Amino acid sequence: MIKVAVPNKGVLSEPAIELLKNCGYKAAKSTRALSSIDMANGIEFYFLRPSDIPMYVGKGIIDVGITGMDFHKEVLSPAVKILDLPFGGSKLCAAVPEQSPCQKLTDLANLRIATSFPGIVRSYFNNPNIQLVVLEGAVEISVGLGVADAVVDVVETGTTLKQAGLRILGEPLFLSNAALFAHPNRKDSPDVCNLVRRIEGKLVALSYKMVEYDVPANLLEKACAITPGLESPTVAPLQNKNWYSVKAMVKSEEANSTMDKLRDLGCEGILLFSIESARV
């Protein structure tokens, strides 16, 4: 039985649990319990703070964990990234009061900077004398309370910073997203590999759709060029010897334009299907 850490709260929690459920795991989170067991799949889930997961996985206490790249970078965890996940996108940005004369990140060198990510900030500025005010949360209010001159915080839309009278300064210090991490000694174990394959299969399913259509024999080659599939499209003759049925995987974001191209070419009965999961 392997141990898997899942964020217990925040923007990463619900998408992570939903992803695991869609992969066939019983990753139910009780309002009281900090863990649950999926006996059928041989997994014990632990619901932990996202910022603590890199430590648990890095030390081998937990085999695998889902958390943000920013939390992993902050503690320089020895855990190994296995997969990037399509949620939890954010950026770590510096912000100063609207009236501040600062125009670039180097202007912050001698200011008091409030942040929940001191490790990333120190690494970015590479300045041992930088003045950091380390906070657990609500970083944006620190300037108004007079304990800092600037902040470095996680930004999704920037609305919270704007409401606090702050403006983003320069480029992001760090770009983050959710990822699947494993302890270096566990990443190749059969149970972990099976978990990774399931998640990869779901990610493929989210990225692709299945298109199926009928095409005249004289247009088959052109139609297959539009829908080449992953390796090759599936082609089957119809009862009418002048027609073929074709099935192929297409990128989700290109699915509708692909259908338009097939219709313009002269294909008929063009259908689009969602994919529940895949192994490719």
Domains (range + CATH), the chain: 2-86+177-188 (3.40.190.10), 90-176 (3.40.190.10), 208-274 (3.30.70.120)
pTM attached to this predicted model: 0.86
- Looking at residue 250, its pLDDT comes to 97
- Looking at residue 10, its pLDDT comes to 87
- Looking at residue 244, its pLDDT comes to 98
- Looking at residue 28, its pLDDT comes to 80
| Pairing assessment for the beta strands 166-176 and 90-97 based on DSSP bridges | antiparallel
- Looking at residue 279, its pLDDT comes to 84
Per-residue pLDDT of the chain in tens (280 residues, 90 and over written 9): 899 999 998 899 999 999 999 999 998 877 677 899 999 999 999 999 999 999 999 999 999 999 999 999 999 999 999 999 999 999 999 999 999 999 999 999 889 999 999 999 999 998 878 899 999 888 999 999 999 999 999 988 788 899 999 999 989 999 999 999 999 999 999 999 999 999 999 999 999 999 999 999 999 999 999 999 999 999 999 999 999 999 999 999 999 999 999 999 999 999 999 999 888 7
